[in-house]
Amino acid sequence: MSERVVLAYSGGLDTSVGIGWLKEATGKEVVALAIDVGQGGEDMNVIRQRALDCGAVEAIVIDAKAEFADDYLMPALKANALYQKRYPLVSALSRPLIGKHLASVARQLGADSVAHGCTGKGNDQVRFEAAVAAIAPELISIAPIRDLALTRDKAIEFAEKNNLPIAQSKKSPYSVDQNVWGRAVETGFLEDPWNAPIEDLYSYTQDPDVFREPTEITIRFEAGIPVAIDGVKYAAIDLVQKMNDLAGAHGVGRIDIVEDRLVGIKSREVYESPAGIALIAAHEELENLTLERDVNRFKRGIESRWADLVYEGLWFSGLKRSLDVFIDHTQEHVTGDVRLRLQGGRAVVTGRKSEESLYDFDLATYDTGDTFDQSLAKGFIELWALPSKIAAKRENNRGKK
Ligand code: ARG
């Protein structure tokens, strides 16, 4: 039996041609693996059949939507994960999951290698290969576009010559990656960072500039996980989908950013992540209500480190796992309700309450019933400012010398 390679298959031109291209270049039999992470679009059975028609010896479809929501999106939400303070890691979250399935299918089938359709310029190649390496270190990773010089023109030529059922696929002016956490759009006219995005780019969000009456919703969180909207319980995957509809209808979650890629390139990216942005806003505010000050402050630093690690493909690294333990521990009391107002591209928190709240009305109030002993503040400030005071005296004395 010849060696086998398991290819992460999307159904698009590059990975479809990649099947035959891999076979020609390596002599290996190609198994296509399509993972459903809620990217929508074509039916997964159509994609599966196309892989077979393009020469795969086997084509496997895995519905990983619930796993993606439970094991990847919920941890990202608990971490309020935003790369460079803005990007909710849409693609960066799906790659380790796909890598994990690639590795496990390769092992099950006795394949010696895995493959993906990334170029050599992006982050996704790193994420796939680092995930596979961390799970099945014996596997070889192959990237036909990067390693076997499969260009777009050659791909079209190959598809036409071999009569592949993909030749007619029209080239999108952009490179798009999408899943249930959002969409990433790059290249085309966006490569000039001065060019403003056009309405055409978006599909999860409506134009936020069109006036609509606001939508107000209440999200229930339990230990950091959103579990219900307006009293209706949802599994994580369904709740995220529901939030995409609600927040997307108000144009929430559009992001336009120049981002630092792992390979050193700066790239201009347009994203839309209605559920991601709305849920992070709600979750973070519930933390403000329920976390001790120092835990909250310290966690904000951990969050950005977490986002950097995940962005840079280290989902399965030791540091990321250890940070998860810290983050999970902080979520113990992050239970309660957040009211969100969705309108004009924004998700604004207008109310929060929690049975685990640290907000003490009697301490906070300026009205009668105040239990805060203001006389204590005077001595506190005296000691708080003491180190600065002593240092200032030294400066003054030096001036006199
Ligand atoms: N720049 C983003 C990231 O690194 C999006 C990548 C999108 N991938 C793609 N093949 N278009 O996460």
d(CA 319, CA 296): 20
- The reported pTM is 0.96
For ligand 1, atom 8: residue with the closest CA: 177
Which residue from 211, 235, 240, 230 is spatially nearest to 338, judged by alpha carbons?
230
Q: 25 and 88 share a domain?
A: yes
* Range of the structural domain that residue 49 is part of: 4-173
pLDDT of amino acid 373: 92
Q: 90 and 222 share a domain?
A: no
Domain stops at, among 143, 173, 203:
173
Q: 103 and 166 share a domain?
A: yes
Q: 208 and 288 share a domain?
A: yes
CATH number of the domain bearing residue 374: 1.20.5
Pair 247, 342: CB distance under 8 Å: yes
Residue 342 lies inside a defined structural domain of this protein = yes
CATH number of the domain bearing residue 146: 3.40.50.620
Q: 165 and 132 share a domain?
A: yes
Domains held by the chain: number: 3
Going from the Cα of 178 to the center of ligand 1, the distance in angstroms, rounded, reads: 9
pLDDT of amino acid 82: 98
Residue 45 lies inside a defined structural domain of this protein = yes
Going from the Cα of 177 to the center of ligand 1, the distance in angstroms, rounded, reads: 6
Atom nearest to 267 CA in ligand 1 = 1
Going from the Cα of 266 to the center of ligand 1, the distance in angstroms, rounded, reads: 12
Atom nearest to 186 CA in ligand 1 = 11
Q: 378 and 305 share a domain?
A: no
Going from the Cα of 267 to the center of ligand 1, the distance in angstroms, rounded, reads: 10
CATH number of the domain bearing residue 184: 3.90.1260.10
Ligand 1 mutation pick, 98, 128, 177, max ligand atoms within 8 A of CB? 177
What separation, in Å, do the N-terminal and C-terminal C-alpha atoms of the chain show?
A: 89
pLDDT of amino acid 169: 60
Residue 359 lies inside a defined structural domain of this protein = no
For ligand 1, atom 4: residue with the closest CA: 123
Residue 71 lies inside a defined structural domain of this protein = yes
Q: What is the pLDDT of residues 31-53, one digit of tens each?
A: 999 999 999 999 999 999 999 99
Report the DSSP beta bridge partners of residue 5: 30, 113
The tens-digit pLDDT sequence of the chain (401 residues) is 689 999 999 999 999 999 999 999 999 999 999 999 999 999 999 999 999 999 999 999 999 999 999 999 999 999 999 999 999 999 999 999 999 999 999 999 999 999 999 999 999 999 999 999 999 999 999 999 999 888 888 989 999 999 888 856 666 789 999 999 999 999 999 999 999 999 999 999 999 999 999 999 999 999 999 999 999 999 999 999 999 999 999 999 999 999 999 999 999 999 999 999 999 999 999 999 999 999 999 999 999 999 999 999 999 999 999 999 999 999 999 999 999 999 999 999 999 999 999 999 999 999 988 999 999 999 999 999 999 999 999 999 997 87
Atom nearest to 83 CA in ligand 1 = 12
Going from the Cα of 122 to the center of ligand 1, the distance in angstroms, rounded, reads: 7
Residue 399 lies inside a defined structural domain of this protein = no
- The helix (H) or strand (E) run that includes residue 342 is strand 336-343
Q: 289 and 372 share a domain?
A: no
Q: 211 and 321 share a domain?
A: yes
Residue 52 lies inside a defined structural domain of this protein = yes
Residue 206 lies inside a defined structural domain of this protein = yes
Q: 89 and 111 share a domain?
A: yes
Residues with a known catalytic role: 14, 95, 124, 175
Residue 400 lies inside a defined structural domain of this protein = no
Render the burial of 248-272: b for 16+ CB within 10 Å, e for the rest.
bebbbbbbebebeebeeeebbbbbb
Ligand 1 mutation pick, 14, 174, 269, max ligand atoms within 8 A of CB? 269
Q: 345 and 381 share a domain?
A: no
Other CB atoms within 10 Å distance of the CB of residue 120: 10
Atom nearest to 269 CA in ligand 1 = 1
Atom nearest to 262 CA in ligand 1 = 4
CA distances, 59 to each of 7, 46, 52, 56, 273 (Å)? 9, 11, 6, 6, 30
For ligand 1, atom 10: residue with the closest CA: 177
Length of the chain, in residues: 401
pLDDT of amino acid 2: 81
d(CA 251, CA 234): 23
Q: 136 and 215 share a domain?
A: no
Ligand 1 mutation pick, 83, 95, 116, 124, max ligand atoms within 8 A of CB? 124
For ligand 1, atom 1: residue with the closest CA: 269
Q: 157 and 190 share a domain?
A: no
